[in-house]
């Protein structure tokens, strides 16, 4: 298997079974790594019960809730210790359509992108069932990031992505400082500074079907101040490619 999907979870028992089944039924095959932060609702136990029936399913259990960014870093490290060529990431709550994984993968494998982003804003505002205040907060956040960084990416906070292996090797996710949704911004910014080809694939983002959102104003606040620090640091510290 050359493709992997990383799915961080915290209290996603209501969604994870259906998501695993949906990904496993895709025409393009993907391994799945669930990174669970000791969910009190038994998400990890349910995943482990499914594993004998789904040989493409794996789990990485952590001892506590340590943030989205740290969960992805653990998942990237796990992936890079193995031979995956493409590493994707997505939410566990069906806000990202599993079928769009194929389009993100094709953007890299067939069309030559180094990083493909499932974008809510590349063709208008394609968000379903979000309150208007949250839509505005997300859209304005992306505008702010473009202004500060100079990136031409419309959906800078997107968490639905596909990376070529080499990109992650050169980013070295363990050096990423932001830990919340700012993590998603810093990963894109580093890939952009390294000169990788980034494309946005239009998707429709639908608010979660079940469970409770982990989004908060504090997450966006951390990202906004973190972006400013990130840009200042980048003026004096330029990333360079080590793996080719």
pLDDT computed for residue 75 by the predictor: 97
Question: Beta strand 31-36 with 3-9: parallel, antiparallel or unpaired?
Answer: parallel
| pLDDT tens series, the chain, 244 aa | 799 999 999 999 999 999 999 999 999 999 999 999 999 999 999 999 999 999 999 999 999 988 889 999 999 999 999 999 999 999 999 999 999 999 999 999 999 999 999 999 998 888 887 788 888 888 888 899 999 999 999 999 999 999 999 999 999 988 888 877 789 999 999 999 999 999 999 999 998 665 565 555 556 676 678 898 899 988 888 888 888 7
Number of neighbours of residue 132 by Cβ within 10 angstroms? 8
Specify the pTM: 0.91
**Helix (H, G, I), strand (E, B), or coil: what is residue 83?**
coil
Q: Dihedral sign, CA of 174, 175, 179, 185?
A: negative
pLDDT computed for residue 124 by the predictor: 84
- CA pair distance 46, 12, nearest whole angstrom: 10
Q: What is the CA radius of gyration of the chain?
A: 17
Long-range contacts of 166-170 (CB under 8 A, 24+ apart): 166/114, 166/243, 166/244, 167/114, 167/115, 167/191, 167/194, 167/196, 168/76, 168/79, 168/80, 168/87, 169/80, 169/242, 169/243, 170/194, 170/239, 170/241, 170/242, 170/243
What is the number of H-type helices and E-type strands within the chain? 8, 9
Cα–Cα distances (Å) from 14 to 91, 200, 207, 212, in that order, read 13, 30, 14, 10
- CA pair distance 212, 220, nearest whole angstrom: 18
The secondary structure of 135-180, three-state, reads HHHHHHHHHHHHHHHCCCCCCCCCCCEEEEHHHHHHHCHHHCCCCC
């Amino acid at each position: 298997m050359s493709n992997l999907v990383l799915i961080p979870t915290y209290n996603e028992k209501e969604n994870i079974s259906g998501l695993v089944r949906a990904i496993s039924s895709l025409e393009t095959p993907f391994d799945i790594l669930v990174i669970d932060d000791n969910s009190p609702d038994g998400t990890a136990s349910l995943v482990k019960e499914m594993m004998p029936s789904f040989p493409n399913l794996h789990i990485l259990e952590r001892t506590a809730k340590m943030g989205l960014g740290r969960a992805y870093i653990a998942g990237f490290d796990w992936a890079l210790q193995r031979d995956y060529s493409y590493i994707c990431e997505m939410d566990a709550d069906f806000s990202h359509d599993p079928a769009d994984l194929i389009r993100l993968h094709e953007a890299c494998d067939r069309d030559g992108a180094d990083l493909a982003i499932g974008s809510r804003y590349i063709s208008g505002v394609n968000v379903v069932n979000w309150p208007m205040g949250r839509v505005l907060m997300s859209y304005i956040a992306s505008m702010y990031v473009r202004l500060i960084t100079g990136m031409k990416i419309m959906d800078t906070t997107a968490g639905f992505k596909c990376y070529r292996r080499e990109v992650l090797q050169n980013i070295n996710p363990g050096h990423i400082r932001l830990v919340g949704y700012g993590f998603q911004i810093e990963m894109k910014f580093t890939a952009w500074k390294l000169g990788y080809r980034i494309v946005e694939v239009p998707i429709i983002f639908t608010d979660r079907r079940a469970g409770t959102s982990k989004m908060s104003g504090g997450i966006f606040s951390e990202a906004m101040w973190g972006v400013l620090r990130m840009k200042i640091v980048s003026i004096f510290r330029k990333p360079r490619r080590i793996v080719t």
